[in-house]
Amino acid sequence: MGNLRSVQKALQTVGADARVTGDPREIAGARSVVLPGVGAFKNCMANLRRLDLLEAVQKTISSGKPFLGICLGLQILFSESEEFGPIPGLNIVPGKVVRFAPGMRDPQSGAELKIPHMGWNRVAFKKKLPLFDGIADASWFYFVHSYYVLPDRPEPVAAATHYGVEFVSGIQWDNVHALQFHPEKSQKAGLTLLKNFSRMK
């Protein structure tokens, strides 16, 4: 769903043997798996279903191997999305995906905030995770999205960001890590994060 090659290139930059594949057997044999995605939730779920990859994603997560979702790869882990919906997700993390409310304003300038949320913003870490090693809290990361996740419980929340409201920008749930921002577009901090993930076992 749009950013496969840029994620692959970023992972290769930090020394990972990153391969783009739609083969469930190759996914099953991988040491870790990254699921990127940009675009619409409904289309992403339909594409995974069409390519017979829904089961591969679920088996990857249940196997306990490191899993990283990026942007839509975060959102589809949730129970449902209100985008063109409700549309059922994978229900790995209980909760839903909702749209930024129109008319939100910057608390400092009073200016109306644009949707989609596009550009650089700070990410506050809510958990101390190996994924965040070597990255300062409140570092800047790059975002492109109109929807954000609302977990039913606080336990999965690993990072948060302010854009009109405070929203969850990262989760950690057992072996699952997932991010609303794009580490592959976030320069040094993003590459550090991807390098940390590539070293997970």
The question of whether 182 is a catalytic residue gets the answer: yes
pLDDT in tens, 99-157: 999 889 888 888 899 999 999 999 999 999 999 999 999 999 999 999 999 999 999 99
Residue among 135, 114, 128 at smallest CA distance from 186: 135
Q: Is the pLDDT of residue 1 over 60?
A: no
From 117, 145, 177, 182, the catalytic residue: 182
From 71, 117, 145, 177, the catalytic residue: 71
Beta strands in 73-116 (DSSP E): 78-81, 87-88, 93-99
Q: How far apart are CA 142 and CA 115, in angstroms?
A: 15
Side chain identity at 45, as an amino acid letter?
M
The question of whether 44 is a catalytic residue gets the answer: no
Q: How far apart are CA 82 and CA 68, in angstroms?
A: 23
Q: How far apart are CA 39 and CA 60, in angstroms?
A: 23
Return the H-helix or E-strand segment holding 55: helix 54-63
Domain 4-198 CATH assignment equals 3.40.50.720? no
The question of whether 71 is a catalytic residue gets the answer: yes
Q: What is the pLDDT of residue 2?
A: 58
Q: What is the pLDDT of residue 4?
A: 82
Q: What number of other Cβ atoms are within 10 A of residue 178's Cβ?
A: 28
pLDDT in tens, 5-52: 889 999 999 999 999 988 999 999 999 999 998 778 888 888 888 888
Task: Read off the pTM.
Answer: 0.93
Decide: 157 and 168 in contact? Cβ < 8 Å: yes
